[in-house]
Amino acid sequence: MVLGGSSHQELTAKIARKVGVKPGKIDLGTFKNGETNVVLHDNVRDKDIYIIQTGGVKSNDAIIELLLMINACKLASAASITLITPYYPYSKGDQKSSLRSPITSKLLANMIQKSGAQHIMMLDPHSPQLVGFFDIPVDSLKVEPLFCTWIKHNIPNWRECTVVSPDEGSAKRSTMIANYLELEFAMIHNRHKKIMSSRKVSRDQTPAESVHLPEVDVRLKITYRMVEKLLKISGEVEGCDCILIDDMIDTGSTMQLALDVLQANGAGKVYIFAAHGVFSGDAYDNLKKAQNLEKVIVTNSIPQEISKQKFGTLLQVVDISGIISEYIRRCHYNESVSVLSDVGGEFDTKDQLLRTLIRQEMDDERRPDGEEADYGDVEGPVARVRRGYRLDSVCWDE
């Protein structure tokens, strides 16, 4: 049974349809005093329950609603409870930001486990240590396979593009895509955030001290010399279209800075890819002002109806209902889920052996009796065989 919270009902409906079940009937509301109320209407006894709830939209209400849904299923004798949270709430709270601040992600993990969840899936978490906060099995799926497919089908000159990481934290996911697509890689060394927390440059300067600063420097309130010192790029981007990769776009300040740095270094069109499009604060205005921005590509891990209206054709949304529905099917039948995050790898000799055996069997059927066949080596590259997994399987069909 698939149950969905109020945070993303459209995604829940798509997943349930591709899995082949109807969403469970559940009342999600509030009492007159503002407290959350959850009531199950379907029998969940001895059933495998998959609860879909995402963050990014009224996260505090979504968390309480999620905990009540999990506990309601537990008290109703569900066989298993699997939480599917495409965007894990408070994912940025994975460490102490100051001496007297909480680790919010760990606290939320304890609450989820205490409520009765037995398994959890999150999509492209903000940091790898989120998985270690749980004492229950955690599956962390990646969206890189979906992004690689989008790049190949929608960027005409993708073979001449350069994959760029906007900061050091996104280097790993950026190199993964660059290696699979066999593209050049570059990284922006972004050290301005820590400096900005302690150093501000006043706009009120004497005529002798005043200098002409580019627009980027005025917005960031740092001098031109600080830009050269704190913002450097490793790799060649001049004259190349660039693919920026990050896990999320929140206020858009990191992407805005990366766009300015790429423009200053002579880069061409820029495509921004992010798993989660939060778009809070001035994100819309910051990104739409960029002259070199071609497209912003995010997934529907968070509802994007409002974002589509504000961005218009600049925003493209990649559907993740297929990969999540395939994950549910594999979990239910105890199949491997690691292949869902496979974006390619080294050539597997076992696959070539399998292809050779298939070819021999076909030749045996066509060969006249008594005639020997020369099988030889398999010509040309052989695609990696993914057992039990097809992009056009039933869970991926519209």
pLDDT digits (tens, 9 = 90+) for 28-62: 999 999 999 999 999 999 999 999 999 988 899 99
Q: Which of 172, 143, 119, 62 is closest to 317 using CA atoms?
A: 143
What is the rounded distance in angstroms from the CA atom of residue 65 to the CA atom of residue 277? 22
- Tell me what pLDDT residue 335 has: 87
Q: Which of 250, 256, 251 is closest to 288 using CA atoms?
A: 256
* Fold adopted by 2-141+323-340: Rossmann fold (3.40.50)
- Tell me what pLDDT residue 232 has: 80
- Tell me what pLDDT residue 281 has: 87
CB atoms within 10 A of CB 126: 21
| Segments in the chain forming alpha helices (H) | 9-19, 59-75, 104-115, 144-154, 171-181, 192-196, 215-220, 224-230, 253-264, 283-288, 305-311, 321-332, 349-366
DSSP class of 140: E
- Contact indicator for 55, 90 with CB cutoff of 8 Å: yes
Residues 6+ apart with CB under 8 A from 114: none
- Contact indicator for 241, 269 with CB cutoff of 8 Å: yes
- Tell me what pLDDT residue 2 has: 96
Where in the chain are the domains?
2-141+323-340, 144-319
Q: Which residue bears the tokens 């509301």?
A: 29
Q: Which of 312, 328, 309 is closest to 320 using CA atoms?
A: 328
DSSP characters over 354-388:
HHHHHHHHHHHHHSPTT------PPPS--PPP-TT
- Contact indicator for 257, 215 with CB cutoff of 8 Å: no
* Fold adopted by 144-319: Rossmann fold (3.40.50)
- Tell me what pLDDT residue 219 has: 46
For residue 115, give the amino acid letter.
S
- Tell me what pLDDT residue 371 has: 55
State the first-to-last Cα distance of the chain, in angstroms, to the nearest integer.
20
Do 144-319 and 2-141+323-340 have the same topology in CATH? yes
- Tell me what pLDDT residue 391 has: 41
Q: Is 161 helix (H, G, I), strand (E, B) or coil?
A: coil
What is the rounded distance in angstroms from the CA atom of residue 16 to the CA atom of residue 160? 39
Low-confidence ranges of the chain (pLDDT < 50): 195-222, 224, 345-354, 372-394, 396-398
The pTM for the full model equals 0.79
Beta-sheet pairing, 80-85 with 48-52: parallel
Cα torsion at 285, 287, 290, 292 (round to 10°)?
-160
DSSP characters over 48-98:
EEEEE--SSSSHHHHHHHHHHHHHHHHHTT-SEEEEEESS-TTTT-SS-SS
- Tell me what pLDDT residue 344 has: 55
- Tell me what pLDDT residue 373 has: 47
- Tell me what pLDDT residue 348 has: 39
